[in-house]
Every structure is written in structure tokens, then in C-alpha cells.
Amino acid sequence: MTALPLAAAHAPTPRLLDLRGEFPAVPSDWAYLDAAATAQKPRAVIEAITRAYAEDYATVHRGVYARSARMTEAYEAARETVARFIGARPDEIIFVRGATEAINLVAQSWGAANVGPGDRILLSLLEHHSNIVPWRMLADRVGAEIDVAPLTEDGRIDEAALVARIGPRTKLVAIAHVSNVLGSVADVPRIAAAAHAAGAKLLVDGCQAAPRMALDMAALGCDFYAFSGHKLYGPTGIGVLWARGHLLAAMPPWQGGGAMIEEVRFERVTYASPPLRFEAGTPHIVGAIGLAAAIRWVEEVGIAAIEAHEAALTAMARAELEALGVRVLGPARSAGILSFAVGEVHPHDVATILDESGVAIRAGHHCAQPLMRHLGVPATARASVSAHTTPADIGRLAEGVKRVQRIFG
């Protein structure tokens, strides 16, 4: 009797991207596997930033001269690019410093107006501190309570348990679309439906999802979505808050200053409509332009192609690590991110030795201390892939891990 070949062995290998040449800061002998912390920048983004400062620079919204008008157009075109990228309207896009600021904005503006004593905010155990601390601060200020949804055995948000924890006093559910530690992907539409059925809103921290998967706000069904530009191949200091238009329209401003007003008298100020209501002061003009360039670059490569590329490399890394007897934490299918433990070796030692082998990974609590406590570890080693990662990078990771194993015998 002949053994039947496994279907998987015959599955076509997805075509890997070959983009290393577009990343001037990533030499071919360096495996940069810390994209989940921050992405390296393609030349197109660096050039757009340089051009904006070197040729096109002026302020926006104010200058009565052609250069400023063009810069304003570029800034507002960046907003349109972001809107198109996530399937939203431009006037629902607020430029912020990053996802952390986006979440703080929602907590301080929407939260202060809509969450009161005895109300509840539901988070999950795998949240990044940026999606915990603003809610803890809000809860302490208004006398609200925080609930925490548990995880499944393999490190995904236990969605059934989360849905069961949504109660009549739950005003907001706030979860990560993709875990920054484990790469687990949440079923956002399912959670949105459950939150809305109970009259609660859903905020999604999309930091790790935006660089890795196609986003469509209508399909996700959430109410707020936050992400950072620097993880999406764009510059630091720029990020996005998307919120449903009717929510933004009802939200009070959170920072006062220039650009966000309609009329100012000492007795009374009337505020501009969103999005400008939430963009006090001169914005990060070049940041927005750089982010738009990053999004155009991602669109040209194709987000689906990046997702397939990352899935293939993540599977490769998982197989290589497991073959070495390394414990990989998190679900079998994770989005571009793997946390792992090399025996009892401290993740910091793993990262130190990998660094010397030309492999950059992250070791630490990844700003997710509650998750670390749940996993029963003080820290993990985390490798994360991106559009420029190659199979050779994964090979270097495996070689570096072997070196760790030899040293710690």
C-alpha cells in the first residue's frame, strides 16, 4: 500500500517578496526581526520625507501663499490616502502622534463624556499597556470598573468568554486586533456585534494589524481604530485615530490651541468640526506626508502579498524553532509575530547572543506585563517579520538559536 501524500506537502509555496533592496538601512547580513517594535523604512518613504522638507516645505491651513496651499493639499491628501487604505471617510481620520495618543484621546474625550461611576470597560488579558493604562486612568478618574477577558490555551482572546463578560454597564470594549506579543488575531466583527448588541462601543488597537492585513472599517464594524505610522513603514511621531463620524461629531475637544477652533473670545470658544477639532497646534505635516508615502508603498507591493509573505516566513520560523526544541508561545497561526523560549535561558541572554550573530529581536515584557504574568514568564524573546524579511533571515535566527543552545549547553 502506498502512503497518500499529505496535501500540505503539495500546497504551492507562496511567492515570497524580494524587497530588501528598497530598505537602505537593512544590510543583507543583518536579520532585522523587530518590525513589531518599529518597521524599517523603504526608500520611497525616506525620499518623500526629504522632498517635503527640502523642496515643498511650508505650514498648512494658514499661509496665504501658494507654497502653503500646496502643502495643505498634500497634508489633506495624506488624510485621504489613510482613509482609502482603511475603508473610511477622510473626515473620520484624526492625525495623532501614534496609537498611544489615539487611545488616550478616546479615553479623555469620548470616555470622559460617556463613562461614569459604576460603568465598565472590558479589555483582554493580552493588551499592550497603551490599551490598559489610559482606561485605568479614566476608570480611576470617573469611578468606573475594568473587566478583563481571559485567553484561550493557545494565547488568543477567548472570544466566547469576552462576549459573556459584556454586561449592561459595559460602555466600551477595547482590544488588540493583533497581539504584539503572540501575533494572535482577534475576530473583530464578532466582538463588534456583541458589543453593539449590548449598547457598548468597540475600540481596536490596530498597531500590529495595519502593517500586516487589509483593513476595512465597515467590515470590521468597530467604532474606534488606532494605529501608528512607524510600524507601517512610515515615520515616527505620526499615527491615526479613526472613529465613526457621528461619534467624533459629539466628542468634545481634548487639547486646546490653534487650528482646532472656529472662533475664540475670552468668554467663549467655539470649536472646529472634526477632524481639525482634534488636531490642536501645527500638526506633524511631514509625518502625515511620510505616512501617506508609506501607505502608497504598501499598496503598490500589495497588502495581501505582504500578508502571504509574512505568513510563509512566520510558518518557516516556527518550524525551524520547533525543530530545535524551542518552545513557541501563542497560536499555531500568528500574524508575523512569534514569542519563544529557548529552554530556561533568559530571553535577554537569547537576544544578546542573537545580536552578536546579526539577528535583532526583542526581549522583554513587550509592554504587556499582565500577559507575561499569565504566561508565567518575566519576559519573552520575540521575533517579528516584515515585507523585507527573507528566508536567509530566518536561517540566521535558527543559527543564532543553535549558538544560544551551544553556549548554555
Provide the minimum distance between the beta carbon of 184 and another protein in the complex, in angstroms, as a whole number: 24
Provide the minimum distance between the beta carbon of 64 and another protein in the complex, in angstroms, as a whole number: 47
DSSP-derived secondary structure for 179-229:
-TTT--B--HHHHHHHHHHTT-EEEEE-TTTTTTS---HHHH--SEEEEES
Q: Reply yes or no on whether 222 is catalytic.
A: no
* Cβ-based neighbours of 346, under 8 Å, separated by 6 or more: 363, 379
Output 322 or 355, the one with its CB closest to another protein: 355
% helix, strand, coil for the chain, step of 5: 45, 15, 40
Output 56 or 349, the one with its CB closest to another protein: 349
Give contact residues for another protein (rule: CB under 8 A). Answer: 345-349, 351-353, 355-356, 363-364, 378-379, 403, 406-408
Provide the minimum distance between the beta carbon of 95 and another protein in the complex, in angstroms, as a whole number: 32
Query: Residue type at 403?
Result: R
Provide the minimum distance between the beta carbon of 37 and another protein in the complex, in angstroms, as a whole number: 13
> What angle do helix axes 285-301 and 43-54 make, rounded to 10 degrees?
150
For 35-161, list the strands marked E by DSSP.
93-96, 120-124, 145-149
> How far apart, in Å, are the Cα atoms of 77 and each of 73, 117, 275, 296, 350?
6, 41, 14, 12, 44
Output 141 or 348, the one with its CB closest to another protein: 348
d(CA 20, CA 241) in angstroms, rounded, equals: 30
Catalytic residue among 367, 375, 394, 404: 367
Residue with cell 515585507: 387
Output 328 or 360, the one with its CB closest to another protein: 360
Provide the minimum distance between the beta carbon of 407 and another protein in the complex, in angstroms, as a whole number: 5
d(CA 372, CA 211) in angstroms, rounded, equals: 24
Output 96 or 367, the one with its CB closest to another protein: 367
> How far apart, in Å, are the Cα atoms of 225 and each of 50, 170, 208, 290?
29, 18, 12, 20
> How far apart, in Å, are the Cα atoms of 381 and each of 291, 329, 348?
29, 10, 7
Q: What angle do CA 178, 180, 183 make, to 5 degrees?
A: 55
d(CA 100, CA 107) in angstroms, rounded, equals: 11
Output 216 or 355, the one with its CB closest to another protein: 355
Provide the minimum distance between the beta carbon of 300 and another protein in the complex, in angstroms, as a whole number: 34
d(CA 347, CA 353) in angstroms, rounded, equals: 10
End-to-end alpha carbon distance in the chain: 43
d(CA 331, CA 152) in angstroms, rounded, equals: 9
Provide the minimum distance between the beta carbon of 336 and another protein in the complex, in angstroms, as a whole number: 23
Read off the C-alpha cell for 297. 508603498
Provide the minimum distance between the beta carbon of 180 and another protein in the complex, in angstroms, as a whole number: 17
Output 114 or 357, the one with its CB closest to another protein: 357
d(CA 409, CA 405) in angstroms, rounded, equals: 5
Output 234 or 400, the one with its CB closest to another protein: 400
> Which positions are annotated as active-site residues?
367
